[in-house]
Amino acid sequence: MMTTDVYPGKDLGTLELTITDEMVQHYIKGLDEPNPWYTAASPFGGPVAPVIIYQQADSEFKGWYLDNLFGNLWRRQEWEIHAPTRVGQVLRCSARVADRYRRRDREVVAQEMWVRDEAGHLIARSVHHQSFLAEQTSGEVTLRDPASKDGARQGDEPSGEPLSVELRKTFTEAMCDEFFYRSRNYHNDKAASKELGFGNTVIGGRMTISCVTELLTRHFGRGFYLGGRLDVKFTNVLWPNEPFTTRGIITGRRVEGGQTRAEVTVFCEKDDGTKIIVASASAFEGC
């Protein structure tokens, strides 16, 4: 059955989200990322929340998912970041359906979200591309061969200057429980995962994209909070207990508003070289 009421331009309304200490603590424990900026001092005076701590707000909007949830996966996320947020801050999030399109055997819905502070200033804007199987509704999801995907070969890598840091992680089921503490779903419940056609729990895109933002926060600091840009493609599934590395390469620089913006390509890849994320990003240097 075709879902007809999901169409470009559909207004999804507005919701309020308060950033809590609990959210920050679950983020730190779920990712094993104890950045002192989150709990003690930061260059902004006092602690700040992780860059996109409010990212789950996009899933709280109703009326943009298609009916067939079997095998649904994240495809892509785009972010523009304009300002830091803090524990106790109340954010107003509004969203709409930006696009709906077909890719191979999947239909994709793109949801655009704006995050504003209480005075109405824009904190961040995101576009989330969620993919739904167009026909298959049961059985087992067939995932494309990793070797056939974007950025799969080592030779595809751009030349440039590696970032000063790399993140090596292995997400366990306990970490997924911690990170997704609000609900049981296919990221922390094997039964829920099997129902959707996956052989194991799927590490959530919210966790892997947070590795990208953590890498960029560590390298650029203020310059990522005050002008970060991300275009993240989720190219392969990550399973629990699979080690992976997040690393970046500065591929160019340009002047923007009197500041230097560095262009970065970021990869999250498993130990066998399979890339689970291929991202374009940028941030201000020396900010």
Which fold is adopted by the domain 11-134+146-284?
A: Thiol Ester Dehydrase; Chain A (3.10.129)
Tell me: pLDDT of 1 over 50.
Answer: no
Average pLDDT, the chain: 87
Q: What is the pLDDT of residue 72?
A: 80
Tell me: pLDDT of 183 over 90.
Answer: no
Q: What is the pLDDT of residue 178?
A: 87
Percent of the chain with pLDDT over 90: 65
Pairing of strands 167-170, 243-256: antiparallel
Question: What is the pTM for the complete model shown?
Answer: 0.87
d(CA 39, CA 24): 9
Q: What is the pLDDT of residue 268?
A: 95
Tell me: pLDDT of 187 over 60.
Answer: no
Residue 138 tokens read as: 């049961």
d(CA 271, CA 178): 24
Q: What DSSP letter does each residue of 195-246 carry, written as one string?
A: HTT-SSPPPPHHHHHHHHHHHHHHHHTHHHHTT-EEEEEE-S---TT-EEEE
Eight-state DSSP code of residue 11: E
d(CA 169, CA 177): 16
Tell me: pLDDT of 182 over 70.
Answer: no
Give per-residue pLDDT as tens, 256-279.
Answer: 999 999 999 999 999 999 999 999
Write down the domain spans for the chain. 11-134+146-284
Tell me: pLDDT of 151 over 80.
Answer: no
Q: Which residue has the higher pLDDT, 178 or 283?
A: 283
Q: Which residue has the higher pLDDT, 72 or 42?
A: 42
Give the type of residue at 25.
Answer: Q
